[in-house]
Amino acid sequence: MVPVPEALDRLRAGNRRFVAGERSRALPSRSERAELAAGQEPFAIVLGCSDSRVPAELVFDQGLGDLFVIRVAGNVVAPSQVGSVEFAAAKFGTRLVVVLGHTRCGAILATLDELARPSEGRSPNLRSIVDRVRPSVESLLATDLRHDREALVAQATRANVRASVDHLRHGSQILERLIAEDGLAVVGAEYSLETGVVTLFDDEGGVGGGLRAAPSLLSPSAGPVRR
């Protein structure tokens, strides 16, 4: 089992390499693939967006078997996503969960457009995604942000990540127990399409488990994944 501080260090170092245009490893060899066929021990769980520009394995420069990745448009949390996180945390002993949003998220844009101009005839499947994003961003339209589209989208993206983090922390008895008793940490983060940098959220309740014991991991000087 990889402790949360070490898991964060690995992600931070990997993102630093990614931003610099470096890679730490070649494609896995036949023997490495054969070894992984017998089992996996991912050191982090990443719930991220399906956007083709944000593959977690590349963004964090990790290889086969390193990350347990769950991808869905808008990095929203539904029962299947909660169950996937429960499975990985319980089965593999993975203790770090990262909800990874990103700038210019299409699901956020679609939700804001739907709130501004409700449409008829939208696919019920697409609407289910919008409906999960809606509660976290709807209140922002009542603020001055409604006059600044760019700032509104940025804040809506972060609010949506925080909503998903909160859902994982408080929407599952299994995860609540692992957080309280076994040091599971669920954190939010945002990937910048423009720079490649991943930024960790460090707001109230934004860190858990081993993070509070190692605040230096979130310091700006530690690298691209930062406060």
**What percent of the chain lies above the pLDDT cut of 70?**
89
Band of residue 206 on the pLDDT scale cut at 50, 70, 90: very low
pLDDT tens digits for 12-33? 999 999 999 998 877 888 888 9
Q: What is the average pLDDT across 202-217?
A: 37
**What percent of the chain lies above the pLDDT cut of 90?**
71
- What is the reported pLDDT for 122? 78
User: What CATH number labels 4-24+31-222?
Assistant: 3.40.1050.10
Band of residue 203 on the pLDDT scale cut at 50, 70, 90: low
- Per residue, the 3-state secondary structure of the chain, as one string, reads CCCHHHHHHHHHHHHHHHHHCCCCCCCCCHHHHHHHHCCCCCCEEEEECCCCCCCHHHHCCCCCCCEEEEECHHHCCCHHHHHHHHHHHHHHCCCEEEEEEECCCHHHHHHHHHHHCCCCCCCHHHHHHHHHHHHHHHHHHHCHHHHCHHHHHHHHHHHHHHHHHHHHHHCCHHHHHHHHHHCCEEEEEEECCCCCCEEECCCCCCCCHHHCCCHHHHCHHHCCCEC
pLDDT at 45 over 50: yes
Name the pTM for this structure: 0.87
Domain ranges of the chain: 4-24+31-222
